[in-house]
Structure 1
Amino acid sequence: MKVTSHHSYYICTLILLSMWIPVSLDKILHFELFKNAMIQQPFNDGLGVLLAYILPLFELGTVILLIKPSLRRYGFFLSAFLMFLFTGYVALAIFGNPDDLPFGCGLVFQHLSWEVHLVLNGIFLMISLLGLLLEKNIVPKSSRDLSSQDNSNDINLPKKNLGF
């Protein structure tokens, strides 16, 4: 079977979903642990608390955007943006003293060294950018314009008369 750009596009989507879903759910399910790790980061405690609430929302938002075909472009963009920030943070941690920093990425990646984490982040960043590039090349521009969307590909659930 020949792998086409469409196949690559969907593979990028599936790889990113397989990373973002467990990472975001882990932060939500172990929220207190994640929040404590964020508070121990080398910035203001208030910012740590704010990030503890915002990051899981952005990560879940990335999942939702990647799942919905008409919004997938924004999912790739948000994924690339988050991975750029996370990769930069890990790089700074490596060049500083990573032993002083608590690991805030959750239980999914807790056993990885900072160096392996940097490589993985770089790979996920590249996959996000590749997905964005493939999306631009294979999805017609008219399909990316949200104002002219035909939602015929959306899942339509049967409507029940609730008597209202």
Structure 2
Amino acid sequence: MREQEKAVLNFNQNNMNADRKRYYCLMLLDAVRYLFILLFLYAAFSKLYDFQKFKVQLGQSPILSDFTLLVALLVPGVEVLIAIGLAFRRSLLPALWASYGLMWMFIVYIIVILKFTDRPVCNCGGVLEQMSWDVHLLFNMGFVVLSWIGLGLGLHQEGRFWVWHSSRSRSVFVNTPTRHAEPRRHFDP
């Protein structure tokens, strides 16, 4: 086999490996997206389903009692907006950042409630309300880690990171495209 044919075969093998890696990254990114969509929609609709109970529980919180109605309307609304943002590729990164921020806000709220109140009240709604505070904190931290993973993969797919491709005697930087599940078009000199 000639040297040029070996270089072409090596380049094609590298492209197949890069496409396979990109496919698995997109699958993981989609899994993170769908988990957040499921979490936020479930939490928002369980709060809205029993809105009066949610509002009463917020009123029992010493931190949020002055802003009960405002928080009762904003939290489910923000959760639904973030879930909608996660559903579309174009708004994926801002929605992942918003997910990250909202989960940190929930973590800080849980820590403050546990530190400074005698009778903490969970106002998450649904099955999430049945968790102990320690489990709830770990659950939220797990979703923060998922948001880090999603942000890393999302930034990679947006082309903020560069992929190094070598071909023959020179190397070329190729920006990764953002389209889902499409094969990458490579520059072949």
**TM-score, structure 1 as length reference:** 0.78
* 2:42 equivalent to 1:42: no
Pick from 65, 84, 93: which aligns with 2:113? Answer: 93
Q: Larger relative contact order (C-alpha < 8 A, sep ≥ 6)? A: 1
Letter in 2 for 1:127: L
* Residue of structure 2 in register with 1:157 after alignment: none
* 2:87 equivalent to 1:54: no
CA contact (8 A) 1:79 1:128 kept: yes
Of structures 1 and 2, the larger Rg is shown by: 2
* 2:121 equivalent to 1:102: yes
**Structure 2: unaligned runs, 5 residues or longer:** 1-19, 161-179, 181-189
Letter in 2 for 1:135: G
- Displacement of 1:92 after TM fit? 2.2
Structure with greater strand share of residues: 2
2:31 match: secondary structure: helix
- Displacement of 1:44 after TM fit? 5.3
2:91 match: secondary structure: helix
CA contact (8 A) 1:94 1:115 kept: no
Between the aligned partners of 2:51 and 2:141, the Cα distance in structure 1 is 26
Number of equivalences: 142
Q: Deviations over 1:109-138 (max 9, x none)?
A: 111100000000000111112211210011
**Structure 1: unaligned runs, 5 residues or longer:** 142-152, 154-164
Pick from 78, 83, 89: which aligns with 1:69? Answer: 89
Q: Equivalent pairs: percent with the same residue?
A: 23
Between the aligned partners of 1:39 and 1:5, the Cα distance in structure 2 is 43
Pick from 113, 126, 138: which aligns with 1:119? Answer: 138
Q: Deviations over 1:71-92 (max 9, x none)?
A: 0111111111110000111122
Letter in 1 for 2:137: L
CA contact (8 A) 2:25 2:153 kept: yes
Pick from 138, 154, 157: which aligns with 1:135? Answer: 154
Between the aligned partners of 1:18 and 1:44, the Cα distance in structure 2 is 26
* Residue of structure 2 in register with 1:6 after alignment: 26
CA contact (8 A) 2:58 2:64 kept: no
Between the aligned partners of 1:103 and 1:18, the Cα distance in structure 2 is 20
